[in-house]
Every structure is written in structure tokens, then in C-alpha cells.
Chains A and B, each alone.
Chain A
Amino acid sequence: MLEEKARLSLPAAGGPGAFQEKSGGLEDRLPAPPGGVRRRHRAASRARLISTVSIVVFMLVWEGVVRLHLVNPLFTSSPTRIAAAFAQMIHEGSLGKDLRVSGSEFLLGYALAVVVGILVGVGMGWYADVAAALQPFVSALYSTPRVALIPLLIIWLGIGIWSKVAVVFLVAVFQILISTEAGVRAADESLIRTAHSFGANDRQIFTTIVLPGAVPFLIAGLRLGLGQALVGIVVGELYAATAGIGYEIAVAGETFQTDRVFVGIAILASTAILLMWGLRRLEMRFESWRPQRQGAGR
């Protein structure tokens, strides 16, 4: 399986751009390359420029309406006030601890959700009996708003990090599990038949056909689970905690320290963006064989 992964990660040699030089001499008509590499590159840097300008304009307008007393900063805060609050919180020294606590809750809970979600999802997708045995529990727990279980988790695990690890796990695991199961089930029948014809056993069919085919589903599950996990931390800490980003947001909110609430939100948002970017990179590694789809209206 490791070997298969290593192979999957090989970059797409040639690539659509390489068609032009190679198509001569063969009778087969090749699909026209969808725009040159250069054109795609230019489109990407243009998109980046537009995004940057759009963010800067937003920040300036936000700061401007506060400075011109058009809105009350008690409600809206402003970019410079948030930055000042951020510096202040670092100076106080509590932020490091909050990050450590929330970070551990997230990492432990999400890692556990990834391992359990993938293993159980694969089991349920591959073995009908496993699916039959676990489906009732998965359906029941998935349809329950899992934050409703927080009081129970706190009774069982206390108000330290373990109750939050459990919350993060519970809210993230089902997205991963259900996507993985769907991905395993979606395995291409004609490829399985081909593998059978070449004398593949079940293990070989699983590692060479089913697993590589499930990668997009798996990554989608990881992405959905990631969003849920971040929600889980905040909700868990809002409910009962002694430290953490969610806890800071709750305390700051109760005392009308809008600037500090926004610092917490900004930290969560940038974490989410960073992690999503990481998953996108992971997906590109595995999916480099898929031709890039061009968006409409570009």
C-alpha cells in the first residue's frame, strides 16, 4: 500500500501542456490542451492580485468607518484595535497557554477521528457484514446533534482537555467515516473485473483499485471533518473549560471586549485556512493525474 502511494505521488510527467510537441506522427487525434501552461499561470496570478486587493479594501473600509465614528467600535472593533488586543494578549502570556490547550484538543481529537473514521469507513464499505453491524449506530449518532452530548462528556471526562478531545472526535469522525465508506463503495466495477481477469486477489483489488479510487472521497471527508472539528473545540470550550481559544472568546464576549473576541475568531479562521490549504496540497499530490478543469467565465 505504501508502495502504491509512492507511485501515486509521482508528478504527472508530460502534462497537458506537453501535447503539442508530441502529437505529430500519430494518427490519433489528441484532445486539445485546455489553455497553455502560461495562460493558466497568468490566470492564477491575476486571481491572487484580485483577492489581495479585495482584502485590503475590506480592511481599509472597516478601519475607516470606525475612525470616522460611523459605527461604534464596541460592536465592530477594527483591524488596528484587534492587532493591539492581539499584542496585549501575547504580552499577558495567556495566549500561549490557550493555543496549547486548544491545539492539543484539536490535534488529539481530529487525529483520532481520522484514524477511526478511515478504518471503520473502509470496513463498512468493503464488508457488507461490518456495514450491517455498525450502520444503526452510525445513523443514530450522525443524526443526533452531537454537541447535545457535551454535558454527558463533561460528566464522564471532566472540564479538562479530554472532554473537548471527545467532542472534537465525535463531531469530526462521522464526516470522515461516511465519505470513506462512500468512496470504497464507489469503486469502479469495470476496473475490479479487469483486476479479477488478471488474477488479482481481494487484497490486491483493495490496494490497487479501491483505495486509490477512494482518495477524492477521503480528502473530502477530511475537509468536512476539519470544519466540524474546529466548531467542536469552540462549542466545547464555550460550555465548560479553564483555558483555550474558545474559552477566551467566551470570557471576552461576556465582558464586552469585542477586540479580544475578534482575536480569537481571527486565530480560528487562519488555522482553518492553513489546514484547508494543507489538505488541498495533499489532494493535489494524489490527484495529479486528473486533468485540471477550467472554471467557467475566466
Chain B
Amino acid sequence: MTSKLEAIDVTVRYENPRTGVATLALSGLSLRVEPGEFLGIVGPSGCGKTTFLYCVDGLMPLSGGRILLNGRPITGPGRDRAVVFQSPSLLPWRTTLRNVTYGLELQGTPLREALDRAREMIRLVGLEGFEAYHPLELSGGMQQRVNLARALVMGAEVVLLDEPFAALDAQTREFMQAELMRIWGETRKTAVFITHQINEALYLADRVVVLSHRPGRVKSVIPVNFPRPRELRVKRTPAFLHLEDHVWSLIEEEVRGGLRSAADA
């Protein structure tokens, strides 16, 4: 079986256009994502998680290596992928409904069809009744639901999520994780979920990839075998806590290593 998504020896170096300082963000990163799989990626902050996601979306060029989608190299953004950004990035002058249709409109989907699909997706993310609201009239959690709906409505094969719940308070985040599980259960897309929260990754993912400190490489891949559908309660079971502790120790090693190499430099 071919992988849905395959990163081979990916290296990314970029330069700050203002200061001219070059940063090696990723170095020799390789991983695979299987069709229908939910892959979580965790790592110390600044390890290049978001950079990797942008590369998969085609927003950022690679300095070395390749990323294959269905066996073909990625050259730019495409209909086969959709991103849920960390900040909701909604168009403030558009209503919920028209924010969700935005991507479809850009691709030339007839408006009537776009509206129908958007209404369906708004129902799925639980925002029915809020179609005519503008983003500034919605709470943070609701804005992220719109962000999610806008990505899912595209019908992309791969959904890329960049810490979408990072800015939410702890309770809303827990609830949104459960909601994401429910929605993902209904759509069964291939998903790549970036987060710095270990228990979030373990709760959501089939496998969790732990990245090293910068420049990011794959340090470890951890299979998560809790049966689905998972309830939030699973986070408090001994097996879950044990796994969380294990991942945390891996990351702690990396953070310490990062501090040491920063001190040496």
C-alpha cells in the first residue's frame, strides 16, 4: 500500500528578510502518513512543526528532500490539501456562512453549490443558527469551528491542522478535541495535527511523531492504540498517563539538548 503522504529527507533553511539571519528549521525529516490516518506531531517549541506543515501545504519551498502526496511531489497549494490555521484567520467582513464558502468560491465552485455544502458543514461543526454572524461576534472556540468548517468543506484528501486549539482556554480546548474526534469520525480524512500539547496529540492521533529540537528531525514515532471512539475520560487512564509521561521524557531530553547546544554555540 502506498502512503498518502510521504516526507523524505526534508530540509528547510530560510532567511529572515530583515536581518538576513539564516535558520535551519528542518534537517533530514522523514515520515509517512497512511490513508485515513490521524497523525499527531509534537516537539519542543521552535522545532519546525509549523514549518513542516506549511511545506506540506506548499506554502514554503523545501531546501532539500521531497514531500510526496499519493506518490507525486508537492509543488504548491492544491485542492487535495486544506489547512486549519492556528489563528482562525477568518475574513472579518464575511459572515460565518460566507467564510466557509470562501475557499470554494476561490476555486470557482458555483455559489449555490458552495452555499449548500457550507450549510451542511456548518451543521457538522455545530454552528447551525450562526450562519449570519460575523467572526467578531463569535467566541474563540466558535471561530475555530468556522476555521475547521472552511477547511473541511473543501473535500480535501488531507487536512492539515496547525495547533488549532492552542489559543483556547483549557475547558473549551478539551471540548473541541472531542468535537474534532466526532467530526473526523464522520469524514475520515487523512489528518496531520501539529500541537505542543502531548495529551492532545495522544488523545487524537493513531500515531504520534516526536520531533527533535531545531533543526527538526523525527526523534521517535509512538503508536497510540486506544480503541476508538475515544472518550475524553481516556486521558485519565493509567495507560494514557504512562504514555504521556514517556513522550514528555523524550521531549524533555530534546529541550535540554536544545539548551545545551544553544549554550555551546
Q: Mark B88-111, 1 if CB is under 8 A from A, else 0.
A: 010111110010001101110000
Cα separation A257 to B124 with both chains bound (whole Å): 74
Q: Mark B101-145, 1 if CB is under 8 A from A, else 0.
A: 011011100000000000000000010011011101111111000
The closest CB in chain A to the CB of B135 belongs to A289
A291 within 8 A of partner (CB): yes
B227 within 8 A of partner (CB): no
Task: Select B107's contact among A193, A196, A199, beta carbons within 8 Å.
Answer: A199
Q: Mark A3-46, 1 if CB is under 8 A from B, else 0.
A: 00001101011111001001000111111000000000000000
Most buried by A among B78, B102, B137, B154: B137
Task: Select A198's contact among B77, B142, B175, beta carbons within 8 Å.
Answer: B77
Q: Cβ of B136: which chain A residues have Cβ within 8 Å of it? A: 289-291
**Are A198 and B139 touching (Cβ within 8 A)?**
no
Q: Mark A185-222, 1 if CB is under 8 A from B, else 0.
A: 00000110111111110001000110010000000000
Q: How far is the CB of A185 from chain B (nearest CB, A)?
A: 16
Cα separation A278 to B92 with both chains bound (whole Å): 24
Cα separation A27 to B170 with both chains bound (whole Å): 13
**Are B91 and A209 touching (Cβ within 8 A)?**
yes
Do A22 and B130 form a contact, CB below 8 Å, given A16-B137, A198-B77? Answer: yes
Task: Select B77's contact among A10, A27, A196, beta carbons within 8 Å.
Answer: A196
The closest CB in chain B to the CB of A13 belongs to B132
**Are A212 and B139 touching (Cβ within 8 A)?**
no
**Are B106 and A200 touching (Cβ within 8 A)?**
yes
**Are A29 and B91 touching (Cβ within 8 A)?**
no
Q: How far is the CB of B107 from chain A (nearest CB, A)?
A: 6
Interface of B is mostly: loop
**Are B106 and A289 touching (Cβ within 8 A)?**
no
Cα separation A57 to B154 with both chains bound (whole Å): 63
Q: How far is the CB of B82 from chain A (nearest CB, A)?
A: 8
**Are B78 and A28 touching (Cβ within 8 A)?**
no
Q: How far is the CB of B105 from chain A (nearest CB, A)?
A: 8
Q: How far is the CB of A127 from chain B (nearest CB, A)?
A: 18
Cα separation A71 to B59 with both chains bound (whole Å): 74
Q: Cβ of A196: which chain B residues have Cβ within 8 Å of it? A: 59, 77
**Are A190 and B87 touching (Cβ within 8 A)?**
yes
**Are B137 and A14 touching (Cβ within 8 A)?**
yes
B254 within 8 A of partner (CB): no
Cα separation A234 to B265 with both chains bound (whole Å): 68
The closest CB in chain A to the CB of B57 belongs to A197
The closest CB in chain B to the CB of A204 belongs to B106
Cα separation A12 to B79 with both chains bound (whole Å): 31
* Size class of the contact patch on chain B: 35 or more
* Size class of the contact patch on chain A: 20 to 34
Q: Cβ of B130: which chain A residues have Cβ within 8 Å of it? A: 22
**Are B91 and A212 touching (Cβ within 8 A)?**
yes
Cα separation A264 to B133 with both chains bound (whole Å): 47
B83 within 8 A of partner (CB): yes
Cα separation A208 to B103 with both chains bound (whole Å): 11
**Are A199 and B78 touching (Cβ within 8 A)?**
yes
Cα separation A111 to B83 with both chains bound (whole Å): 43
B85 within 8 A of partner (CB): yes
**Are B133 and A208 touching (Cβ within 8 A)?**
no
The closest CB in chain A to the CB of B136 belongs to A291
B249 within 8 A of partner (CB): no
Cα separation A16 to B106 with both chains bound (whole Å): 29
**Are B57 and A12 touching (Cβ within 8 A)?**
no
**Are B137 and A198 touching (Cβ within 8 A)?**
no
**Are A198 and B95 touching (Cβ within 8 A)?**
no
**Are B137 and A291 touching (Cβ within 8 A)?**
yes
**Are A199 and B79 touching (Cβ within 8 A)?**
yes
Do A193 and B59 form a contact, CB below 8 Å, given A199-B79, A212-B91? Answer: yes
**Are B139 and A29 touching (Cβ within 8 A)?**
yes
Q: Cβ of A31: which chain B residues have Cβ within 8 Å of it? A: 137, 139
**Are B172 and A28 touching (Cβ within 8 A)?**
yes
Cα separation A22 to B39 with both chains bound (whole Å): 36
Q: Cβ of B141: which chain A residues have Cβ within 8 Å of it? A: 27-28
Q: Cβ of A200: which chain B residues have Cβ within 8 Å of it? A: 106
Cα separation A291 to B93 with both chains bound (whole Å): 11
Given contacts A31-B137, A199-B106, 5 further A-B contacts (CB under 8 A): A8-B93, A12-B132, A196-B77, A198-B77, A208-B106
What are 24 inter-chain pairs, A to B, with CB distance below 8 A? A8-B93, A12-B132, A13-B132, A26-B142, A28-B138, A28-B139, A28-B140, A28-B142, A29-B139, A190-B87, A190-B89, A191-B89, A193-B59, A194-B89, A196-B59, A196-B77, A198-B102, A198-B106, A199-B103, A199-B106, A209-B91, A212-B91, A289-B92, A289-B95
- Chain A to chain B: the 3 pairs with minimum beta-carbon distance, closest first: A13-B132, A198-B103, A28-B139
